[in-house]
Amino acid sequence: MAAAAILNGERVVVVLFIGLVLFSLPLSLLLQGVALSLLALSALFIEIRAEDDASSSSSLSLFKTRPGASSGIFLGAVTLPVVMLSKLIQLSRALSLRQVPLEELEYLTMQYWATSASSLSVLVFLCMVIWRSPDHTRPPYSRSIMDAKLSLSGTVLFAVVCCVSIAATSHTRFHAVLRLLWVLLHGLAAVKLIQHVLSTFPSCASIGEALLVTAGIVLYFGDMLACTIAKVTGYLISLELVSVQYGVKRSEIGIIIQGVLLGLLLFPMVFKFVLRIWECSSSSAHSESRTYEIGKSLIFFASLGFILIVIIPSWMQFAQDFSVHPFLWVISFVFSEPLKRLSLCMYWVCVIYVSVLRFYNISKNSKIERILLRKYYHLMAVSMFLPALIFQPKFLDLAFGAALAVFLVIEIIRVWRIWPLGQLVHQFMNAFTDHRDSDLLIVSHFSLLLGCALPIWMSSGFNDRPLAPFAGILSLGIGDTMASMVGHKYGVLRWSKTGKKTIEGTAAGITSMLAACSILLPLLASTGYIFTQHWLSLLLAVTVCGLLEAYTAQLDNAFIPLVFYSLLCL
């Protein structure tokens, strides 16, 4: 196999990305760096087998992935662990200056091992799928044995490093065992979830994209469960026996967002269960189509209201000790600065109304390519989020959570065709889809919103890199938009013979991001931020993101902001 075929453009950029993070590691995080290296080598090895070996391709073909996309296993497996490691590097600087407590570093360390275990478990699962290929396509026996030895060696070494690291930071053996069990449960949950995602939503995502989503959801669910366990065990036994010490102070906004989003992710299963009970108990459920649709709609909205008003707020009050109902807390928070926050809401509503109405008419009556039309929404995101992030960052956190909740409800209504809005929403959303969306699931608007929101959410608490929260807005709203527009209009020199990305577009994206940073830094300085980012490191971060946008076949809205955020934290 030729070296050029093994190290294609996307893999080279990912290796460079990982190398920059490992180069910035302090000695205190050496074990985490070794574990990341093992994870990256395993992911690269499996992706090569999955894409370049005919037998592996046939064995992984049982997953109906997004057409036209590569497997993305390497990028998907390392992205979240690298994000967590970058945060650890940032917190280690703060710990050396005594600006954060040790518990916060331990909390993030557990998140790192949980995320890495999720990625490694999925990689082991993919290896097993490859080995179980049909006899007539199975690789030669000697190579199969070599694959097994390499994969087993990498898994064992990773487990040893993980055990040593957790044992070194645990107070007792009991602590260490429970923490290792906690990490293992994340891995098992990730394997089950990615199987469910790929089977339930065929042709909606590549394996790498599904792996990123799976690891993120498992980490989010695990964090919520750990918070609940810590709260319960705090009442039942002494704090010294808490297996996962999640004693980090949580904000009310973070708890509200976490509860609402996870409740909405679980809601389709609840609705499906209630709907089946109703169908079994009602003999006339299918006798009249209109009656059935109305009944289904009533059950949907009643179940949704019960979860949002009763179930989710009950957990919030238990986890955070709200003195009032969480939704009343939100109202009081908004009206604590009514002029600024209500004016911002009115500005957002006006921008959304004018932009959506204008772009919807253009999409129906114009021959402009969908990919370019959608870039206008990236610019709209910049105009909406940039002022709010500078002057009202906490309110923007809450607004992102509310917007994502609305998107989830709308998508559930569209997928289930809930009367009377389901069909109308489906027709409206189809006006903005492109080749990356499927008839079953439309994900582009989710990825754009999350791409802007995640760097902001992850920057809560200690943050000594003022540009880090702007990673999504800069990379998607400025860099990706300019790269697409300039590349489409003026691009001549292509990065590859089969791809559409051009060198001119990539150069425009990198230049525009650097220009935006040079304008943004004086604004941040005027609000009290202290600039601690070296221009050389900023140039490297912007360049890596520009090259990743040029080479990757994955959903760039999901990966590029996380990569840029990780590099800005170093």
Kindly report, residue by residue over 78-112, the tens digit of the pLDDT: 999 999 999 999 999 988 888 888 888 888 999 99
pTM confidence score: 0.91
417 Rama sector, left if φ>0, alpha if ψ -120 to 50, beta otherwise: left
Q: What are phi and psi of 494, to 5 degrees?
A: -95, 150
On whether the CB atoms of residues 516 and 474 are closer than 8 A, the answer is: yes
Partners of 494 in beta bridges: 502
- Taking 70 as the pLDDT cut, the residues of the chain under it are 1-5, 52-61, 133-152, 234-249, 283-288, 360-373, 431-439, 527-533
CA 78 to CA 525: how far, in whole Å?
34
104-108: long-range pairs with CB below 8 Å, 24+:
104/248, 104/461, 104/462, 106/169, 106/245, 107/245, 107/246, 107/247, 107/248, 108/84
Which residues are 260's β-sheet partners?
none
CA-based nearest residue to 448, from 558, 562, 565, 551 = 558
pLDDT of 276: 85
- Nearby residues of 156 by Cβ (< 8 Å), 6 or more positions away: none
d(CA 78, CA 35): 11
pLDDT tens digits for range 509-520: 999 999 998 888
- CB under 8 Å to 555, separation ≥6 — which residues? 205, 206, 209, 436, 443, 444, 447
DSSP string, 296-325: HHHHHHHHHHHIIIIIHHHHHHHHH--SS-
CA distances from residue 200 to 195, 210, 233, 426, 530 in whole angstroms, order as listed: 8, 12, 36, 19, 47
Provide the β-strand partners of residue 502. 494
pLDDT of the residue at 31:
93
Q: Would you state the pLDDT for residue 421?
A: 84
* Residue-wise burial string across 532-552, b where 16 or more C-beta atoms lie within 10 A, e elsewhere: ebeeeebebbbbbbbbbbbbb
CA dihedral 300, 303, 308, 314 (to 10 degrees): -170
3-state secondary structure 249-275: CCCHHHHHHHHHHHHHHHHHHHHHHHH
Tell me which H or E stretch contains 289. helix 289-306
